[in-house]
């Protein structure tokens, strides 16, 4: 029997062929969305009617799309966060939603440290100045000996901590679920978010977007930070109030910031943050390495095939549907 699968992700199948080959070898046909095309809600509604499974990137899978999905048994997120999928609608219709937790954690942790270094040493601006024919004296700050605050000490946060320890950084962390053994072995001190805001030279965010984390970092929180603080958000855009961040950077209330995620994606030139020299932007590329995309894709397709063949997927986000 042939199963029909659609990928709305702009990266699935383009940088790692193994997941596509796996689907084909298990009786699936796969339609890849062209990388130059962004599917609208209407586009997806038209396509889902005959599908058995959907692989999703950051596109919104709305209640209307799910209502039109007459045969879909599983929606697989090509990544970890499922905030772009209407979970209530999917669960109500008995559609299993899966994700790929931790598959890109090394890639995201690498980029976190890279962004800290890029802001601290002003690397993009030094490169730009040289390309413009100047040879300025660019003075930055070090990571070694500084205090790093990690908000969200899950899989990614822990890998950021391991990398930061190589820079001889002191590490503070906040998480609602504490891994005391890891913290003890790694020399990490759990503390409050308030202490992280006021004590840390570097702060990184590794938490999901939920109603409680919406605009978690706003005017008040930025005002608590030291003037030398560098903030990196590589989680979800709406966790940081971008207007408040712009004011804090422009007024020199913190040293710098880098965002890999934005409230509106893709970010446009109209975003005032992009005009600031103490700000660095990257295009939601935290999980985009060949290795991470291969692993993320394989997790997606293994769960899809398991579901379509009558077995239980491994990484189910709404397990109540299986009951």
Domain boundaries, the chain: 3-103+289-322, 105-281
Residue 290 among the catalytic residues? no
3-103+289-322 homologous superfamily? NAD(P)-binding Rossmann-like Domain (3.40.50.720)
- Sequence-distant (≥ 6) Cβ neighbours of residue 297 within 8 angstroms: 12, 13, 16, 18, 19, 20, 78
- Please pick, among 31, 63, 265, 309, the residue that the annotation labels catalytic: 265
- Please pick, among 78, 163, 206, 236, the residue that the annotation labels catalytic: 236
The highest-level CATH class for domain 105-281 is alpha beta
Identify the helix (H) or strand (E) that includes residue 174: strand 170-174
Distance, in Å, from the CA atom of 179 to the CA atom of 130, rounded to the nearest integer, reads 46
3-state secondary structure of 246: helix
- CATH topology match: 3-103+289-322 vs 105-281: yes
Residue 295 among the catalytic residues? no
Contact 173, 158 (CB under 8 A): no
- Please pick, among 163, 206, 284, 302, the residue that the annotation labels catalytic: 284
Residue 265 among the catalytic residues? yes
76-133 pLDDT per residue, tens: 999 988 999 999 999 999 999 999 988 999 999 999 999 999 999 999 999 999 999 9
167-181 pLDDT per residue, tens: 999 999 999 999 999
Contact 217, 205 (CB under 8 A): yes
Residue with tokens 């077995």: 311
Distance, in Å, from the CA atom of 280 to the CA atom of 278, rounded to the nearest integer, reads 7
249-277 pLDDT per residue, tens: 999 999 999 999 999 999 999 999 999 99
């Amino acid at each position: 029997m042939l199963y029909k699968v659609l990928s709305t992700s702009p990266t699935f199948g383009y940088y790692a062929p193994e997941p596509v080959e796996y689907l084909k070898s298990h009786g699936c046909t796969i339609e890849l969305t062209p990388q130059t095309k962004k599917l609208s809600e209407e586009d997806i509604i038209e396509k889902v009617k005959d599908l058995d499974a959907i692989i999703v990137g950051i596109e919104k899978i709305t209640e209307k799309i799910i209502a039109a999905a007459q045969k879909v048994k599983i929606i697989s997120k090509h990544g970890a966060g499922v905030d772009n999928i209407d979970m209530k609608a999917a669960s109500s219709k008995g559609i299993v939603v899966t994700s790929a937790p931790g598959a890109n954690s090394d890639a995201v942790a690498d980029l976190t440290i890279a962004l800290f270094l890029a802001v601290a040493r002003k690397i993009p601006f030094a490169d730009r100045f040289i390309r413009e024919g100047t040879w300025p004296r660019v003075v930055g700050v070090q990571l070694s000996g500084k205090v790093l605050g990690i908000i969200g000490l899950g899989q990614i946060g822990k890998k950021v901590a391991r990398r930061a320890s190589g820079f001889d950084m002191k590490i503070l962390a906040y998480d609602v679920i504490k891994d005391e053994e890891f913290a003890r072995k790694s020399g990490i001190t759990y503390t409050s978010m308030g202490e992280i805001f006021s004590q840390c030279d570097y702060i990184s965010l590794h938490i999901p977007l939920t109603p409680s984390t919406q605009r978690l970092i706003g005017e008040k929180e930025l005002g608590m930070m030291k003037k030398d603080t560098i903030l990196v958000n590589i989680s979800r855009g709406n966790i940081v109030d971008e207007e408040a961040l712009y004011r804090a950077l422009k007024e020199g209330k913190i040293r710098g910031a880098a965002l890999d995620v934005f409230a509106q994606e893709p970010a446009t030139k109209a975003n005032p943050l992009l005009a600031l020299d103490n700000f660095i932007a990257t295009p939601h590329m935290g999980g985009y390495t060949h290795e991470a995309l291969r692993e993320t894709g394989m997790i997606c397709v293994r769960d899809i095939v398991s579901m379509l063949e009558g077995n239980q997927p491994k990484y189910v986000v709404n397990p109540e549907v299986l009951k």
